[in-house]
Amino acid sequence: MKTAILYYSFNGATRTEAAKRAASTGADVYEVLEAKKRRLFSAFLVGCPQALGRKASAIKPLDIDWSLYDSVTLMAPVWAGHPAPAFNAALELIPKDKLLHIALTSGGGETPKSKEATIDLLRKQGFTLASYEDVKSGQPPKKA
């Protein structure tokens, strides 16, 4: 059985990290795209409050045969200290019987404001969380 890597990337850093992991593990990769292309201004003005409130953004449909996978790695950037809203949307798609790995990229490489609550939330939602990883992309938040 294989691993599916689902990732959302606004500026490309998470995409690069997902591709690196796929190349070294042979996992299949799926990009999560927001239904409406976001601009930097909207990422800060709308996206950050959404991330803080753990709201899901609208995403494009993904065609995934989940029966091929026993584990899923969900990757997304950190916005305002929290997973970006597309992370919350992608979570709604992942069947609960998959072993879940989380990897969040951020400029600082830490999620002290949200890590424990994210882990709690995932467990409450019925996921089996295999790992939670903060990845330092070294790419600081750009100015809106």
C-alpha–C-alpha distance, residues 63 and 4, integer Å: 12
Size (the chain), residues? 144
C-alpha–C-alpha distance, residues 45 and 119, integer Å: 26
Nearest to 108 by CA among 84, 75, 140: 140
CA 62 to chain centre: 14
87 touches ligand FMN by CB under 6 A: no
Could you say which of 11, 19, 54, 115 contacts ligand FMN (CB under 6 A)?
A: 11
5 touches ligand FMN by CB under 6 A: no
CA 15 to chain centre: 11
69 touches ligand FMN by CB under 6 A: no
Could you say which of 22, 28, 29, 44 contacts ligand FMN (CB under 6 A)?
A: 44
- The stretch among 28-36, 44-52, 65-73, 121-129 that binds ligand FMN (CB under 6 A) is 44-52
108 touches ligand FMN by CB under 6 A: yes
Contacts to ligand FMN by CB under 6 A = 9-15, 43-44, 47-48, 77-81, 105-108, 137, 139-142
